[in-house]
């Protein structure tokens, strides 16, 4: 990593970043974020949780360097000399996106897309898997004894051992799956207490592990954020056009039932897709679908709108790497690497 950063730093000093921005200015960029940061979540998972300070730093740099906010629809149309087009997307529907990120994006003139995972939205409970992993990250003790939660969980665990940690995680996830959404917050607090994380430290009341409400989604839409499709279930089934179409349709029905416009843009859950994806997208009335592959938006064929590249920014990405990606330098590096003998072709 240090070698990579050294090379990038030298390239920026030599003017390569500015040159590439000029050469690639007609190609839109799409950025991806997930949740904001209401406590110390960004220390636990910096890719999932983004601090407002980091986002502001990114937006300031984009503004200073000739980038202009566009909508996702705009990325499908040629841009005429306004600057380098950049669209912003938010995955899932986290409350902290509403609290931390959307106001900041609006301040800088962005009208983002929020891809809603409608199952978690409808449940209205903390997202158990994320909260559970946060608890284990936060746990102050390495040796814990679990007793009284469920018979299958009783026993001693050494959290510093990967085998014990995985065994405990799988056991608690199974225990939580048996519960109704209304029971999840209390169960998570009980587990937190069992491993030394009190309810006050877990702070579920802040809603940092929860999604927006219907009122908040409607308010976000009123402020310029398009509420779009991330599937009802957070999954994409490779090769199963009907299953994927039905999952998208169920998500759309949930969004429309909330009183929002019928959505037509989709984001592949966890970035999973295959070459049959356009069949499901067209069957479900989807206009675009975004991936988790970084790159510049280049629409060359009829299916390209269903494989839009997108850069997943986060706290694990340095400012220098962000600048390199948005300038098109890393897209060039990937293209050059792909033509080397023995290397698979990577998206540009």
pLDDT at 314: 92
- Phi, psi for 152 (deg, rounded to 5): -70, -20
Task: Supply the pLDDT for residue 337.
Answer: 85
141 within a domain of the structure (yes/no) = yes
The answer to whether position 59 is within a domain reads yes
Sorted by sequence, the CB contacts under 8 Å of residue 97 that are 6+ apart come out as 33, 34, 35, 36, 90, 114, 212
pLDDT tens-digit map of 256-268: 999 999 999 999 9
Would you state the pLDDT for residue 1? 63
Whether residues 37 and 6 share a domain: the answer is yes
**Average pLDDT of the segment spanning 50-63:** 97
* DSSP helix/strand/coil, 46: coil
Q: Is residue 133 part of a domain?
A: yes
Same domain, 25 and 136: no
**Mean pLDDT computed over 102-123:** 98
Q: Label residue 338 by pLDDT band (50, 70, 90).
A: confident
- Mark whether 3 and 49 lie in a shared domain: yes
pLDDT at 19 over 90: yes
Task: Quote the domain boundaries for residue 21.
Answer: 1-90+99-116+231-239+288-348
Task: Quickly state the pLDDT bin for 347 (edges 50, 70, 90).
Answer: very low
Mean pLDDT of the chain: 94
269 found inside a domain: no
pLDDT digits (tens, 9 = 90+) for 119-175: 999 999 999 999 999 999 999 988 999 999 999 899 999 998 999 999 999 999 999
| Domain match, 152 and 67 both | no
Under 8 Å between Cβ of 166 and 172? no
Question: DSSP secondary-structure letter at 143?
Answer: E
Q: What is the mean pLDDT of residues 238-252?
A: 97
CA distance 192 to 292: 32
Question: Given pLDDT bands bounded at 50, 70 and 90, which one contains residue 339?
Answer: low
Residue 70, pLDDT above cutoff 60: yes
Task: State pTM to two decimals.
Answer: 0.94
- Is residue 9 located within the same domain as residue 81? yes
75 belongs to a structural domain:
yes
pLDDT at 112 over 50: yes
Residue 73 lies in a domain: yes
Whether 214 is in a domain gets the answer no
Q: Which residue has the tokens 């990967």?
A: 162
Are residues 84 and 195 located together in one domain of the fold?
Answer: no
Specify whether 235 is located in the same domain as 107.
yes
**Do both 67 and 143 map to the same domain?**
no
CATH value at residue 311: 3.20.20
| Same structural domain, 47 and 108 | yes
- pLDDT at residue 28 greater than cutoff 90: yes
Nearest CA-CA partner of 44 in 126, 131, 128: 131
What local confidence, expressed as pLDDT, does residue 346 receive?
Answer: 39
The answer to whether residue 70 sits within a structural domain is yes
- How many structural domains is the chain composed of? 2
pLDDT score at 111: 97
pLDDT of 344 reads 43
What pLDDT is attached to residue 264? 97
C-alpha dihedral, 66 to 68 to 98 to 191, nearest 10°: -50
Structure tokens of 58? 């990114």
- pLDDT given for residue 278 in this prediction: 97
In this structure, the answer to whether residues 28 and 104 fall within a common structural domain is: yes
Same domain, 12 and 42: yes
Q: Say whether both 12 and 66 belong to one domain.
A: yes
Using the predicted structure, report yes or no on whether residue 94 has a pLDDT greater than 70. yes
């Amino acid at each position: 990593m240090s070698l990579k950063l050294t090379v990038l730093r030298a390239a920026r000093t030599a003017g390569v970043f500015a040159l590439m921005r000029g050469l690639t200015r007609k190609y839109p960029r799409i950025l991806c974020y997930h949740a904001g940061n209401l406590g110390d979540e960004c220390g636990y998972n910096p890719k999932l949780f983004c601090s407002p300070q980091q986002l502001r730093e990114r937006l300031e740099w984009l503004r200073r360097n000739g980038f202009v906010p566009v909508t996702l629809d705009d990325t499908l149309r040629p841009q005429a000399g306004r600057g380098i087009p950049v669209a912003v997307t938010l995955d899932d529907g986290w409350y902290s996106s509403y609290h931390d990120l959307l106001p900041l994006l609006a301040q800088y003139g962005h009208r983002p897309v929020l891809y809603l995972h409608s199952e978690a939205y409808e449940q209205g409970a903390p997202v158990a898997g994320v909260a559970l992993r946060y608890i284990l990250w936060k746990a102050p003790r390495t040796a814990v004894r679990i007793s009284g939660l469920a018979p299958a969980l009783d026993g001693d665990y050494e959290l510093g051992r990967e085998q014990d940690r995985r065994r405990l995680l799988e056991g608690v996830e199974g225990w939580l799956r048996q519960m109704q959404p209304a029971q999840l917050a209390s169960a998570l607090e009980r587990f937190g207490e069992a491993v030394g994380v009190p309810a006050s430290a877990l702070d579920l009341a802040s809603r940092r592990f929860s999604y927006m409400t219907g009122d908040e989604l409607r308010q976000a839409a009123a402020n310029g954020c398009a509420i779009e499709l991330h599937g009802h279930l957070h999954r994409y089934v490779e090769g199963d056009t009907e299953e994927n179409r039905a999952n998208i349709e169920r998500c759309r029905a949930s969004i429309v039932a909330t009183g929002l416009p019928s959505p037509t843009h989709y984001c592949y859950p966890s970035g999973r897709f295959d070459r049959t994806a356009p069949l499901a997208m067209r069957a479900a009335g989807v206009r675009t679908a975004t991936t988790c592959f970084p790159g510049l938006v280049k629409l060359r064929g009829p299916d390209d709108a269903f494989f839009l590249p997108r850069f997943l920014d986060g706290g694990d990405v340095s400012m220098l790497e962000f600048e390199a990606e948005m300038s098109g330098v890393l897209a060039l590096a990937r293209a050059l690497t792909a033509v080397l003998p023995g290397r698979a072709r990577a998206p540009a």
